[in-house]
Amino acid sequence: MDIAADPPDLDNTPSPAIRAAVAAAEAVLRRRFGAKIQLAEPEDLGGSKLSTVVRVRVAATPFSLPRTLVVKRYTEPAPAESFVREAVSYQLFTALTAEERMCPELYAHDGNAGVIVIEDLGRAPTLADKLLGDDARSAERALLSWARSLGRLHATTAGREADFDALMRRLSAGRIKGDPLAVNGPAAIERLPQLLADTLGVHTPAQVFERAERTRWLLATSRHRGFSPSDLCPDNNLITSRGVRFLDFEGGCVRNIMLDAAYLRVPFPSCWCAFALPAGMTDAMFAAWRAEVRVMWPDLADDGVMLPRMLDAQLFWVWASTFWFLPRPGESDAPLDSHLPSPRRSVSLAARWRHLADEAKRAGADSILEHAWSVVAALERKFGPDLELPMYPAFREHHR
């Protein structure tokens, strides 16, 4: 949910979806505050196939409310799982202090209407804006700030799983549980060896498959758990004057924080905006995140504890994202996103397997190292030898 994008030009008649979102927001605010609150001048902020997102001006209210708010109305049958996860996530953070929140404040929500009303954080740039811009120093600062903020997000929510689960049970009547990745992640890992064989002619040794299968422990462990937005892509993180603010909690859950930390090392394995970073950048980001989480989990300062877990998390993401993104027979080697700046699928995947090979070599995991390089070689044979991942635009001129 990009609430920072410049709104497109609108005519004087909002679309039916926008009018419905505004009407639903007025109704839920009236129930929440007990008096009529009038909203005006809706600005379309894009949304998705699942939702309509608008910025509105608070035109009339007997209460002290911000000048503007953001409304998100789901088009799925209510209450949809994505709505429940997002509303519960905002409820969890709104109960914290302002310093701990790191996301918009929730003002009202309604499951039957599928609508949430949250704080408007304004037109601050996203992390994607910084990375796709032309200021290398600004992009570097944004990445390090994001990594530190992610660590604080994890540390702040440690021990709050029971609160999150209670809110989930209340809003979903107990029908929605756990991590949404727990279904499609293991399924992808189980099916990847056959896909590699059919598409690239790569054999997966039994011991490598067994190691990948064991990464399921990340989805079940009771240690090192904190809140995760699930979708940590650069366009879901605002760089504001008050620090990084996380958006889009449609997959919000409590899970092992290593799965999020791997976004610092791969990086951004499930995202369209997945270009290369300068040498040393991922190490600096990981160190910034680690400095925050080891306050809550002192054992994560120990490389003997941390690094094997990180290798498992990277192995999980590389395998899962390869299953999701590898072009099937007859499919084109298209960019990850057809409308936004994205590398080709083969280029992105080759980079991820090279990262995995580097980490496996560091860990002395020879079987993973050999398999990773066999996948890279097969990708180059099938899609061409020039599979070097370009850097994010912000760093390209600086590193010529």
- How far apart (Å, rounded) are the C-alpha atoms in residues 211 and 194? 16
pLDDT at 285 over 90: yes
The answer to whether the CB of 260 falls within 8 A of the CB of 228 is yes
Residue identified by tokens 């929500």 is 109
Output the pLDDT for position 399: 60
3-state SS, residue 205? coil
Instruction: Give the number of other CB atoms < 10 A from CB of residue 13.
Output: 8
- How far apart (Å, rounded) are the C-alpha atoms in residues 353 and 241? 36
Confidence category of residue 400, pLDDT binned at 50, 70, 90: low
User: What percentage of residues in the chain have a pLDDT greater than 90?
Assistant: 79
Q: Which of 32, 94, 19 is nearest to 62 (CA)?
A: 32
Walk across the sheet containing 68-74 and list its strands. 38-44, 51-60, 68-74, 115-119, 106-110
- Half-sphere exposure of residue 11: CA atoms within 13 angstroms, side-chain side: 3
Q: Give tens-digit pLDDT for 316-361.
A: 999 999 999 999 988 999 998 887 889 999 999 999 999 999 999 9
Instruction: Give the number of other CB atoms < 10 A from CB of residue 270.
Output: 18
- Residue 267 preceded by cis peptide, ω within 30: yes
Instruction: Give the number of other CB atoms < 10 A from CB of residue 226.
Output: 23
Residue identified by tokens 């899962």 is 320
- How far apart (Å, rounded) are the C-alpha atoms in residues 323 and 300? 30
Tell the CATH topology of 16-119: Phosphorylase Kinase; domain 1 (3.30.200)
- Taking domain 127-399, whether its CATH number is 3.90.1200.10 is answered by yes
- How far apart (Å, rounded) are the C-alpha atoms in residues 218 and 310? 10
Output the pLDDT for position 398: 63
106, two tokens: 């929730």
173, two tokens: 């009547």
Cα end-to-end span (Å), the chain: 34
3-state SS, residue 366? helix
Output the pLDDT for position 79: 74
DSSP 305: H
Distances (CA, A) of 144 to 158, 243, 264, 285, 365: 21, 11, 10, 5, 29
Confidence category of residue 12, pLDDT binned at 50, 70, 90: low
Question: DSSP readout, 239-301?
Answer: EETTEEEE---TT-EEEETHHHHGGGTTT-TT-S---B--TTHHHHHHHHHHHHHTTT-GGGG
- How far apart (Å, rounded) are the C-alpha atoms in residues 223 and 255? 9
Q: Give tens-digit pLDDT for 125-173.
A: 999 999 999 999 999 999 999 999 999 999 999 999 999 999 999 998 8
Q: Which of 77, 104, 81 is nearest to 91 (CA)?
A: 104
The rounded mean pLDDT for the chain is 92
Q: Which regions of the chain carry the CATH code 3.90.1200.10?
A: 127-399
For the entire predicted model, the pTM comes to: 0.92
Q: Average of pLDDT values for 93-116?
A: 92
Q: Positive or negative CA dihedral for 285, 290, 291, 296?
A: positive
Output the pLDDT for position 34: 92
Q: Which regions of the chain carry the CATH code 3.30.200.20?
A: 16-119
